[in-house]
Chains A and B, each alone.
Chain A
């Protein structure tokens, strides 16, 4: 393990029994987990290389209970790690030995659906897909669609400002939230926004979203839902090389079309996903794009014709339009199961940098050079329309040296993203994984300005404290 976590506070560890008893008094014994074996499922998240069993896990059922839990832990000076489904890929929900995990999994109700204002009010423990599930029969959907949407919660999405395949058209989480109920570390409940647009005062909603659970525990949210398009259809485009596919992405956008999604897979990724999902992906190409457009049948035909023309100019060698809903679903199934499929054949670290799309061809070449120089394989699957890359660097978890090399290669890839004008993370968040790289993107002044906000919301740094910033930044500020 190459990332250092702060030493546990012995005073807190020594008071473990009292803390557990105090929590049980608030939520009932049943909803406090303290037995070692029952804590195991909470010891890690999607960044499985790092593990730490927490002091305890508490599962409150209401905002009021969350408030009482935080008031109590604040008085006790105990750290708090918010947790949704634990799918974070950056170690965002990684516990600490002297911290209590506050999970919102019991708070998963849909509280209100209002089609006239096109909003839903939910408790944040609901899964992303369940939000769409609740309005699907009404012809609506919730737009941000991370590939993990079956499992991940709105709480995690809000904390990470999660994106998805369709955010090219519909934006990311922060563009689809109107209100939030949050509990500050001292137990104060605050309401941000609501049904009115552009909240009064400073945009605390915009600030809270993407703050990685460092400002508050969020318990409810008002989300924007959208009427479903009349129809949608993906088209598969295969190219001889990754560079050709990359160049085609820029050309599609320059042509004035905005597809709802442009997804990219290179040859290793195609092979693995095809093996897993039998989606009918072409196996004789160097890279492929999935481009999806929406509208009525005629509108779709017109857009796909235009995209195909652009792709021809860019040297496309394989074009396949989904003719039936089943074919469309198969095309997406391959993409959405990509990380799982990859996980069956190898351990991997999933990078998440964003780059300006015009640099795509060159960056893809340099990524494979970087991984090769460390003796590691790489597969690329990502949201190409917005430049958000997901190189999966393959390694063997039983070989500590390989993990180390994968992390070094990953860091080099992210530095490359920053160097060409992009950023360290497009949607997964900083967490512990990219914490120590923050100085690649930000100056000391930039970091101090951010830390000053953390100080305001959580003066004692009890909420998810060892994330986002290099550990020495707080001391310097």
Chain B
């Protein structure tokens, strides 16, 4: 028999997942939980040899377009879900990124991992995060019990909201076996207004002004100048054609203090936002460290400006400035102390989104939490996974 510590499990259904986890718990055998394996470069490196892959847990289990809801087993490729939605003219409204170019990964991202990472694209600023669309989960907890929370209806306050808790928990609180998202109709068209040559502070002010308007900006990003490419400040609106005409004019009028914008339509607009969503096209290389800072948009430009000269190679603002991507050199702490030291405001945080495994193991990849919150985080880990076998240490040390 092979070494159980190096085993890789490929359960075919939720009951098999439960059996594997029960056995692992009994033997205090940690498991790495793997979906498509495309995000191994995210989080602290796995400290386990055995793994549990969801690759055989595939298939859409429910899709009811008129109810705007879709359920799929955790290992279902995101692309499969998106294709099914596309066929009915619907979409995941949080604009899930793939990030395969960011991690240089092959393989297909899965819906389970999408939920576990709470990954959201530019539309998050308008339509909420993955966690806001995630209305139901089934998961196997660390005791090997199959648990359900939420369901297929979008209004549901029955019992505690464990779906939110699983979103972003990176598999440390359970192996997701099935996820249910609410979805929306696709919009007919989109239009992007592009302003040029604004400095960071003006750019964020422009994005704020757009988001304060009633024209429902669904994307608001700033791409600072790079080489001979001028800085671009972009605002996206979506809707039916008549609406775009009206809103485009009104929005340009509302933002006229920031210049006369160019109008990008159709594929030009779509491909630009695809790049913002994937962020890699704006970075200088594949081997650098990439930070994701979440903070009040009003403080974003000053925050970036306050960082030590030369620390940041490239940076990008998304979500109206509430998200700042910072590309740094992976040497030393890759800027962790400087970046976290400069973060303003209650609840701001910075995560090392990508970096060499050696770096992710050495520094706090995720924002260190105040002790009161860390105590609750540890308590939750113990409540879901008392033996500490699910992706131990992937998120915070000790979780």
**A and B held together in a complex:** yes
Binding site for B on A (CB under 8 A): 114-118, 139, 160-161, 163, 167, 171-172, 174-175, 178-179, 188, 190-207, 209-211, 227-230, 250-251, 253-254, 256-258, 295-296, 298-299, 302, 354-358, 383, 386-388, 421-430, 434, 438, 441-443, 445-450, 452-453, 455-457, 468
B13 within 8 A of A: no
What residue of chain A has the Cβ atom nearest to residue B184's Cβ?
A258
B153 touches A201 (CB 8 A): no
Q: Which of B349-399 contact A (CB under 8 A)?
A: 349, 351, 366-367, 369-370, 372-374, 376-377, 379-380, 382-384, 395-396
**A357 CA to B377 CA in the complex, in Å?**
37
Residues of A within 8 A of B367 (CB): 200-201
Return A16 CB to nearest CB of chain B, in Å. Answer: 32
Q: Which of B283-322 contact A (CB under 8 A)?
A: 294-298, 319, 322
B253 within 8 A of A: no
**A24 CA to B148 CA in the complex, in Å?**
44
B323 touches A426 (CB 8 A): no
- Nearest first, the 9 closest Cβ-Cβ pairs linking A and B are A194-B347, A206-B164, A194-B346, A426-B155, A195-B296, A200-B349, A452-B383, A256-B185, A196-B294
Render B10-31 as a binary contact track against A, CB cut-off 8 A, 1 for contact: 0000000000000000000000
B162 touches A203 (CB 8 A): no
**A473 CA to B366 CA in the complex, in Å?**
36
Task: Tell me which of B157, B163, B322 has the highest count of chain A C-beta atoms within 10 A of its own C-beta.
Answer: B157
Given contacts A207-B164, A357-B67, A445-B147, contact A456 B157 (CB under 8 A): no
A117 touches B347 (CB 8 A): no
A196 touches B151 (CB 8 A): no
Render B313-357 as a binary contact track against A, CB cut-off 8 A, 1 for contact: 000000100110000000000000000000001111101000000
A-B contact pairs, 29 of them (CB 8 A): A115-B212, A116-B298, A174-B132, A174-B164, A175-B132, A196-B294, A196-B345, A197-B319, A201-B395, A202-B169, A203-B131, A203-B169, A206-B131, A210-B160, A253-B67, A253-B68, A356-B69, A386-B154, A387-B154, A388-B153, A424-B158, A426-B155, A427-B155, A434-B158, A441-B158, A442-B148, A443-B148, A449-B383, A455-B383
A383 touches B155 (CB 8 A): yes
A450 touches B159 (CB 8 A): yes
B347 touches A203 (CB 8 A): no
A198 touches B129 (CB 8 A): yes
What residue of chain A has the Cβ atom nearest to residue B294's Cβ?
A196
Return A143 CB to nearest CB of chain B, in Å. Answer: 12
Q: Which of B116-163 contact A (CB under 8 A)?
A: 118, 120, 124, 128-129, 131-132, 141, 145-149, 151-163
A354 touches B156 (CB 8 A): yes
**A198 CA to B347 CA in the complex, in Å?**
9
What residue of chain A has the Cβ atom nearest to residue B298's Cβ?
A116
Residues of B within 8 A of A195 (CB): 295-296, 322, 345-348
B347 touches A387 (CB 8 A): no
Residues of B within 8 A of A190 (CB): 372-373, 376
A163 touches B168 (CB 8 A): no
B129 touches A302 (CB 8 A): no
- Pick from A178, A204, A446: contact of B376, CB below 8 A: A204
B208 within 8 A of A: yes
Residues of A within 8 A of B294 (CB): 196-198
A445 touches B155 (CB 8 A): no
Residues of B within 8 A of A443 (CB): 148
A117 touches B296 (CB 8 A): yes
What residue of chain A has the Cβ atom nearest to residue B381's Cβ?
A202
A174 touches B383 (CB 8 A): no
Return B152 CB to nearest CB of chain A, in Å. Answer: 6
Residues of B within 8 A of A163 (CB): 155
Residues of A within 8 A of B145 (CB): 445, 448-449
Return B114 CB to nearest CB of chain A, in Å. Answer: 14
**A161 CA to B151 CA in the complex, in Å?**
16
B47 within 8 A of A: no
Return A304 CB to nearest CB of chain B, in Å. Answer: 13
- Pick from A179, A386, A455: contact of B153, CB below 8 A: A386
A430 touches B347 (CB 8 A): no
Return B247 CB to nearest CB of chain A, in Å. Answer: 8
Residues of A within 8 A of B7 (CB): none
**A461 CA to B238 CA in the complex, in Å?**
49
B155 touches A201 (CB 8 A): no
Given contacts A257-B185, A421-B151, A424-B158, contact A188 B372 (CB under 8 A): yes
**A209 CA to B161 CA in the complex, in Å?**
8
Residues of A within 8 A of B396 (CB): 201
Return B117 CB to nearest CB of chain A, in Å. Answer: 11
A227 touches B155 (CB 8 A): no
Residues of B within 8 A of A425 (CB): 156-158
B246 within 8 A of A: yes
A193 touches B347 (CB 8 A): yes
What residue of chain A has the Cβ atom nearest to residue B240's Cβ?
A302
What residue of chain B has the Cβ atom nearest to residue A255's Cβ?
B185
B57 within 8 A of A: no
16 further A-B contacts with Cβ under 8 Å, apart from A191-B370, A230-B214, are A114-B296, A116-B212, A117-B208, A117-B297, A178-B347, A179-B347, A197-B319, A198-B131, A201-B377, A203-B169, A206-B165, A209-B161, A228-B214, A442-B148, A446-B149, A450-B162
Residues of B within 8 A of A257 (CB): 185
A197 touches B129 (CB 8 A): yes
Given contacts A253-B67, A254-B66, A256-B89, contact A386 B159 (CB under 8 A): no
A203 touches B160 (CB 8 A): no
**A204 CA to B166 CA in the complex, in Å?**
11
What residue of chain A has the Cβ atom nearest to residue B170's Cβ?
A202
B160 touches A453 (CB 8 A): yes
A174 touches B242 (CB 8 A): no
- Pick from A114, A139, A192, A228: contact of B298, CB below 8 A: A114
Given contacts A115-B212, A423-B151, contact A438 B159 (CB under 8 A): yes
**A190 CA to B346 CA in the complex, in Å?**
12
Residues of A within 8 A of B68 (CB): 253
Return A295 CB to nearest CB of chain B, in Å. Answer: 7
- Pick from B132, B152, B247: contact of A356, CB below 8 A: B152
B271 within 8 A of A: no
Given contacts A421-B151, A445-B145, contact A199 B161 (CB under 8 A): no
What residue of chain B has the Cβ atom nearest to residue A229's Cβ?
B214
What residue of chain B has the Cβ atom nearest to residue A206's Cβ?
B164
Given contacts A206-B131, A227-B212, A227-B214, contact A201 B369 (CB under 8 A): yes
Return A130 CB to nearest CB of chain B, in Å. Answer: 21
A423 touches B346 (CB 8 A): no
B173 within 8 A of A: yes
What residue of chain B has the Cβ atom nearest to residue A173's Cβ?
B157
B345 touches A194 (CB 8 A): yes
A196 touches B322 (CB 8 A): yes
**A446 CA to B160 CA in the complex, in Å?**
10
What residue of chain A has the Cβ atom nearest to residue B160's Cβ?
A450
Residues of B within 8 A of A442 (CB): 148, 158-159
Q: Which of B172-214 contact A (CB under 8 A)?
A: 173, 184-186, 205, 208, 211-214
B243 within 8 A of A: yes
Return A382 CB to nearest CB of chain B, in Å. Answer: 10
Residues of A within 8 A of B382 (CB): 456
Task: Tell me which of B153, B161, B169, B373 has the highest count of chain A C-beta atoms within 10 A of its own C-beta.
Answer: B153
**A443 CA to B173 CA in the complex, in Å?**
19
Given contacts A196-B294, A198-B294, contact A421 B348 (CB under 8 A): no
Residues of A within 8 A of B297 (CB): 116-117
